[in-house]
Amino acid sequence: MTSVAAKTSCATCGKGAGLFKCEGCTQTFCTNHVTEHRQTLHHQVDEIIIDYDNLHKKIIETKDQSNSLIKYIDEWEQKSIVKIQHMAEETRQKIVELSDIHKRTVSQELNLLTERIKKARVEDDFFETDLIDWISTLNKLTDKLMNVSLSNSIKEDQSAPLIYQLKLVITSSTFDDKDKDMFQYHETEPQIATSGDIFEHCSSGANIEDHGQLVEHSDSDYTVEVRGKIGYSSGTHRLRFQIEKNPRGTWIFFGIISKSQPMQKYSYESSSAYGWVDYNDYFLNGVRQNHETGILFHHTIENDIIALVFDCTNRKIYYTNVRSQKSQQLNIDINKCPFPWQLHINIYGRRDCVRLLSAINTLVVKSNHTALNALSVWGALRGLETFNQLIYVGNDFLEAMVQSKMNAFHFHIVDGQSFPDESRTYPELSDKGAYNKQDIYSQADIADLIEFSRQCDIRVLIEFDSSGTTNQMSESALFGL
């Protein structure tokens, strides 16, 4: 039996007379509506062209915006040049005026000398001593005239920048990741100098030790302000601190203050104080921004290393906890905290102790591992040299001294960090003062070392470092210090 194929209906009118199939949308249309379908497609193309024209217009407008930014840069450049030229010309004029005044002064003194010489010659009233005096005066006037430039100098006033650096701020939605990477690649990395600062001043209740590298609180709980020595007005500077002791976990303020501010008890509340007492707990012009954390650390522990960066150029300071790698930055209002800035620390808890690390090189020795961090080959070399001193080589070292014709062994048996000498009278010194009970020189160890040295014709000089001994004794309970 023969079957009849079903007719395909028109997508527009639904009648079963669809004769033309569109290859784009795969729909079928009748004779009357196929033309209408094509007209619809043409209308959609026209809309796309309109959208294209609108986008093209926006691109041109964006170029105009870029031109306005370029124009701003050009104007900034010209204004900066004018400022520099004006300052240079003003300084030149002052130098010329000073030079003229100096010349007039020398000329007046020379005229007086000339009158004296003329008068003495007319009156025939002079001797050898007068000639010597006149020659000496002439030589002095000559030196005074020729060496005026040596007594004057020109210095840049870094407390008041003449020109501020331009900074391009890129909106996150403006460029895709590839474009932003390109801008990041071409940015100039600021030169960060390691500061050679030291602790120089502190209020009562704390002591500065180790040539300005260490500050330690007393046995009472109250705020003590500590200031650095250097004033910061230009450039970018990095400082690192280690919280060597923080037995009660009370916060420590790390930041800056204007050098013009006098020292005071609650200096962190000064209008020019900026800094952190913990991660995400900071002060802006003396006002604490987080009042819920109290006086205890929440993100910082004993032995943490805190890094600060003072960016005077961009008027920012940066905070990083090296252990947790938590970082923050603060913008500084130069009107409230004018240059020069000064290192500013506040310690509160009893026996809190902060060390200012003089370099970016650190050697941390733990019971199960050792970590050496250095930014240069020389820093790593110094760290390895220090680490070598921690390795016990015993008699091998003394035998090496014999081979090198050395006959005096300076045995520095204790230091400020450890008291490893066993004392029969006060055994608690080594029990509490040594790194651990296994790293102690017993009486037998020292006797064996001295005997072996004697056999090698080596003289042993044993030294007890006085400051280190005092430090370890005071930490023990033996003397009630």
Residue-wise pLDDT for 145-188, tens only, equals 777 654 566 766 655 566 766 766 655 445 555 444 444 433 34
d(CA 409, CA 458): 7
- The pLDDT of residue 481 is 39
Structural domains of the chain, with CATH: 192-360 (2.60.120.920), 392-475 (no CATH)
Mean pLDDT of 64-81: 78
Q: Which residues contact 115 (CB under 8 A, 6 or more apart)?
A: none
Of the pLDDT bands very low, low, confident and very high (cuts 50, 70, 90), residue 401 is confident
Query: CB of 194 within 8 A of CB of 360?
Result: yes
User: pLDDT digit string (tens) for 424-434?
Assistant: 888 887 777 77
- The pLDDT of residue 430 is 79
d(CA 125, CA 121): 6
Of the pLDDT bands very low, low, confident and very high (cuts 50, 70, 90), residue 6 is low
User: pLDDT digit string (tens) for 264-289?
Assistant: 989 999 999 999 999 999 999 999 99
- CA gyration radius for the chain? 40
pTM above 0.85, yes or no: no
Burial of residue 29 (CB within 10 Å: 0-12, 13-18, 19+) is buried
Helix axes 31-122, 128-146, angle to 10 degrees: 170
- The pLDDT of residue 247 is 92
Q: Which residues contact 252 (CB under 8 A, 6 or more apart)?
A: 243, 246, 277, 300, 345, 346, 347, 348, 349, 352, 354
